A and B are shown apart, each in its own frame.
Chain A
Amino acid sequence: MEKVLLGFAAALAVGLCAIATGWAQSRIGSAGAGTLAEKPELSGTIIILLAIPETMVILGFVVAAMILYL
């Protein structure tokens, strides 16, 4: 039972963070696409902005790993 709860907690940690990252990236992506249409020279900045929310899912993954392995 404890293992199931640990697995569920780890899944929640990754899953919720992944949803949050997806939502954030969708907003940044659509705004970025609009920006690129007007200023293509900002492509580098947009790519970086798009990569920023991925930290959330990576943090979630780290938490999940700690839940499962520590």
Chain B
Amino acid sequence: MSKVEIIGPMEFLLPVLDRVRALGLFQVEQEMRGFVGREDEKAFRSVRLDKKTLAERLYFDDLLARIGQLAAFLPKLPTRCSYLEPHSAVGIVADVVDKHTALCSGLCRRRDALEEERSELLRQTSFLDALEPLFKTAGEGTGLDFIGVSLKNGEAVDHLYQLIARLTGDTFEFVTTSGPEGAIIVLITLPAELGGKVRDVLNGERIPELAFPASLGQLPFPDKVRTVRRRIGDIGAELDRVNAELHRFASRWWPTYHSVREWLLDRLTLLTTTAAIHKTDLCFFIHGWMPSPDVARLSSLLNGEFQGRVVVVEQEALEEEMETVPIAIRNPPYFRPFELFTRILPLPAYRSYDPTPFIGIFFPIFFGMILGDVGYGLLLAACALVMLKLCRTRRDLRDAALILLVSSCYAVVFGFLYGECFGGLVGWALLEQTCVIERSRAIMPMLAFSLSIGVAHVTLGLCLGLWSALRRGAVREALTKLVNILLLLCLAALAVSLFSPFPVPVRRGLNVAVVVAIPLMLLTGGLLAPLEMMKNIGNIVSYARIMAIGLASVLIAQVANRFAGLTGDVLTGAVAGGLLHLINIVLGVFSPTIHSLRLHYVEFFDKFMVYGGRRFEPFKKPSG
């Protein structure tokens, strides 16, 4: 990352900012300190917007808010390109936006009212559906009144029956049926002159009659039913008309509004960034950071555009600024998907390392060592390919699929080395030839292998930590790391000598080295140094999970095979074994992933990573 200063005459400020933004590689720094000497700071002042530009900014802000209000009323449609140039359309849009907002809000209000009315009527039709058969039983004779009631339980039905019988002197017909949500619908048919009296008593007893809109109040019951049904149909048609009108409006006008909105956002970002720029009486200064390889490109672009009147200067970054240098992580295509795992971590400090390549190299190897099965690996590779095809546009899922693809390839490779295909040899002559170790039986060799991987990985971490400390000039820390590395290697060699004895002089040399290294460690690392050493040894033992989880995986696969064989039936065996294998494959994706990541995050990165970097946020056009 380079510290860069752009200097030019004031009249070029906005065009220069526009070009810098179009390039999208420059992070503007508001803070002057570090860019100019303390004694020169007084000569600089922030660029303040003149009255005209300030008024323009307020106008754009207001227009943007009004377009936002209109957007809230419009349906979301795929936006076509506008045929109008946004700058020239701003005036037109400003003139009509309020009128359009009023029109669209009116349509939306109408749509909401219609939807509310329809949902209310639909609720009533669920009762009407239940009432209709009763209504046919009761007949549609003149001089009769109909009262529909919804009751919650059978006891209320008895109570209502006795009440109506008392009120009408048994001149009524009482029919019940079940309604929606367990309710009991009752239709009471009685002489018209008794209707009012019965309704009054029902109101007093808090038994509400099935309610209909007030406009239907005067209609007889059968007409109410027909009117409600007809109204629902009418509402549907009107809703379609309102929606079509909104849709038509959006497809006609939104592209113009969209392009104007993009232009306004663009312009406002430019004006906002202007406040972070400094100037003298004659010229402006834009300070900031950009990737070193792109400085020459920016320089030649601005030189060509402004005939050498705008200068790009690369300044030397000071020691005390190292903490503030923004971090941009860029990786070659192979490592790029592994940034998915790096994004979980905080950003590394500027002088630390980008952890992505380490994860890209070691994660698939650990994954393969844990899963290590040709069959599972091939199945997961197929799944990864399908996932890649389906999720081309979704970055995270595409990255996950690519990681799975690479990791499953390693699982196939280790599957050949372990001689495993779905947990067993499955009669493959090739597997028998490539099998180096049968891990379900060779537990101790696999444990030794895993711990060796741990020693190598942790030592690499310590070496990187040593290099990092040297770069930062932390000599004492570097010495501690060096002593730790030596002591760790000596201890590892002594552990090996327990199983395969070394010649006596070599063993004696190792013992002496350990005896010398311990006080050296205390001298360089202080009293806590032995604790650090114990932590390193604990970290190495933690790599035993490569063997332990792998062993669990292969044993489950073998159990699945035996289980399938025990059933005595091809079909049942295939289903039972297949299900167990499926569970094992799911576990075989999650478990190795979590544990491989843990080995990186906790055991490995702990040795050399320094976090706390600031993200590189270049000045660029806002994304639509």
Contact = CB atoms under 8 A, between A and B. Distances in A.
A4 to B, nearest CB: 20
B542 A48 contact: no
B542 A65 contact: no
A61 B548 CA distance: 8
Interface in A35-70: 43-45, 47-48, 51-52, 54-55, 58-59, 61-62, 65, 69-70
Contacts of A54: 545, 595, 598
Judged by DSSP, the binding face of A is helix
Given A65-B447, A70-B444, A55 B597 contact: no
Contacts of B595: 51, 54
B542 to A, nearest CB: 5
Contacts of B544: 58-59, 61-62
Interface string B541-565: 1101100100000000000000000
B444 A48 contact: no
A47 B594 CA distance: 8
Contacts of A45: 344
Given A65-B443, A65-B447, A70-B444, A48 B598 contact: yes
A70 B447 CA distance: 12
Contacts of A43: 344
B447 A51 contact: no
A65 B68 CA distance: 67
Interface residues on B, range: 10 to 19
Interface string B88-104: 00000000000000000
A69 B285 CA distance: 73
Contact of A62 (B345, B447, B598, B602): B447
A43 B344 CA distance: 8
A57 B345 CA distance: 26
Contacts of B444: 65, 69-70
A48 B443 contact: no
Nearest to B545: A58
Given A44-B344, A65-B447, A69-B443, A58 B598 contact: no
Nearest to A52: B602
A55 B542 contact: yes
Interface in B592-606: 594-595, 597-598, 601-602
A51 B541 contact: no
Contacts of A65: 443-444, 447
A43 B541 CA distance: 26
A48 B542 CA distance: 14
Interface residues of A, number: 16
Interface string B409-445: 0000000000000000000000000000000000110
A70 B601 CA distance: 32
B313 to A, nearest CB: 38
B344 A58 contact: no
Nearest to A41: B344
A58 B591 CA distance: 13
Contact of B598 (A51, A59, A69, A70): A51
Nearest to A60: B548
Nearest to A43: B344
B597 to A, nearest CB: 7
A51 B594 contact: yes
B547 to A, nearest CB: 9
Given A62-B447, A62-B541, A52 B548 contact: no
A38 B595 CA distance: 26
A64 B443 CA distance: 11
Interface string B516-554: 000000000000000000000010011011001000000
A11 B447 CA distance: 18
Contacts of B598: 48, 51-52, 54
A59 B548 CA distance: 10
B554 to A, nearest CB: 15
B542 A58 contact: yes
Contacts of B344: 43-45
Contacts of B601: 48
B367 to A, nearest CB: 15
Contacts of B594: 47, 51
Nearest to B341: A44
A58 B370 CA distance: 14
Contacts of B345: 44
Interface string B585-624: 0000000001101100110000000000000000000000
B455 to A, nearest CB: 15
16 contacts: A44-B345, A45-B344, A47-B594, A48-B601, A48-B602, A52-B602, A55-B545, A58-B542, A59-B541, A61-B544, A62-B541, A62-B544, A62-B548, A65-B447, A69-B443, A70-B444
Given A54-B545, A55-B545, A59-B541, 9 more contacts: A43-B344, A44-B344, A47-B594, A48-B602, A52-B598, A54-B595, A54-B598, A58-B545, A62-B544
Q: When A and B form their complex, which 6 residue pairs have the shortest distance between CB atoms, in order from nearest?
A: A44-B344, A51-B598, A62-B544, A58-B545, A69-B444, A61-B548
Interface of B: 344-345, 443-444, 447, 538, 541-542, 544-545, 548, 594-595, 597-598, 601-602
